[in-house]
Structure 1
Amino acid sequence: MALPMASSAKALAKELRGLREEPVEGFKIGLVDESNLYDWQVAIFGPPGTLYEGGYFKAHIRFPGDYPYSPPSFRFLCHLWHPNVYENGEVCISILHSPINDQQGGELPQERWNPTQTVRSVLMSVISLLNEPNTNSPANVDASVMFREWRERKNKRYEEYVKQQVQDSQKEAAKDGVIVPVTVEDYCVKTKAEPSESSIDISEFYEDEDMDFCGEDDD
């Protein structure tokens, strides 16, 4: 008999099921370890029509034990030259900052994490951040300066950096056997994840086999 599931794990299991049934365009989602709901692996596809088109960027999302009351962390596993990504790959974005953390200057509490936020909203925020960096409080000052100069058409160094990263990431995609979408049509297709993508049976986490998923009532 499985052990009772913590409320945070129940919330994550529910979100994982939702993301597999209705995937977020531009992402592949999975678990690093099929027995651990607190450590997710993510692959981001660069949006067509942007500097990141054709890119394949792998990352980890780690969730705290009191999720969703505290935010997860999001870390790229590849080197990503971006104003809001630290050297170690950690993403600096308002939605991942606790509302009680006063060290993040210039952010309103409503811009930061709150328990109504979800993994889906984090993913959408990260994909938006790629193309629209926040240069007011950068994690990488040099990348921020370079981005502003590129936006002001002073030089193309930022564009060259990003294109090189995209080329490097495509080698990783080839190694993983992943076909990266490069058209809007392919990028925006939303289909249910195939069962073979994960062997996890979320119902195994529950002690009561008759209990509906996460205690939800049938419609």
Structure 2
Amino acid sequence: KSKPIPGVQVKVDDKNFLKDWQITFDGPKGTPYEGGKFHLVAKPPTEFPHKPPHFSFTHKVYHCNVLPDGSHICNDKLAEANWKSPTRMSDAINIILELFKKPEPDHALDINIGIEYKDNIAEYNRKAKEWTQNFAK
């Protein structure tokens, strides 16, 4: 069992860890996501931990590495081809938290949001903060 991650709450069925995991985390301080409560669902495959879970948000998120509807997160370390077994769920959660501290616009899921991050960070941060206030509750 992993030690708790500060600012993260995890609900999992201890009798069946292949059921959806409900994860809530606080937006990292010093980012446009600060003050938000982000609700993430991890769907582990039957091959978990040898294959990665699918992560999605239950709400909209303005982030260059997340589809705007929250349905998919893009990060090389979470991709099946790069998943190292046995990676713990806590490691995967930390990867997502790091992505919120340091977005990766070169791997943007929405190219326009990635371009905005690179070319107009102030506007990106404004929208990310607005979406956080509106949707990450």
**What secondary structure sits across from 1:60 in the alignment?**
strand
- Does 2:17 correspond to 1:37? yes
Match of 1:157 among 110, 120, 123: 123
Match of 1:97 among 66, 75, 79: 79
Match of 1:70 among 41, 48, 51: 51
Following superposition of structure 1 onto structure 2, how do residues 62-141 of structure 1 map, counting pairs within 5 Å? Answer: 62-89=43-70, 90-99=72-81, 112-141=82-111
Say which structure, 1 or 2, has more relative contact order (CA 8 Å, 6+ apart): 1
Q: What is the CA deviation profile of residues 9-52 of structure 1, one whole-angstrom value per residue up to 9, with x for unaligned ones?
A: xxxxxxxxx24xx2112211003x67642210011201112221
- Does 2:33 correspond to 1:52? yes
**What secondary structure sits across from 2:106 in the alignment?**
coil
Structure 1 residue runs of 5 or longer lacking an equivalent are 1-17, 100-111, 173-219
RMSD: 1.8
Code of the residue aligned with 1:69 in structure 2: it is: H
Deviation, 1:131, is 2.2
- State how far apart, in whole Å, the 2-side matches of 1:71 and 1:95 are: 9
Structure 2 residue runs of 5 or longer lacking an equivalent are none
Change (3 A) 1:34 1:88: farther
Q: What is the CA deviation profile of residues 50-70 of structure 1, one whole-angstrom value per residue up to 9, with x for unaligned ones?
A: 221111110100101011111
- State how far apart, in whole Å, the 2-side matches of 1:169 and 1:136 are: 25
What's the TM-score once normalised by structure 1's chain length?
0.57
- Does 2:2 correspond to 1:26? no
- State how far apart, in whole Å, the 1-side matches of 2:46 and 2:105 are: 31
For these two proteins, the number of residue pairs brought into alignment is 135
Larger radius of gyration: 1
Deviation, 1:141, is 0.9
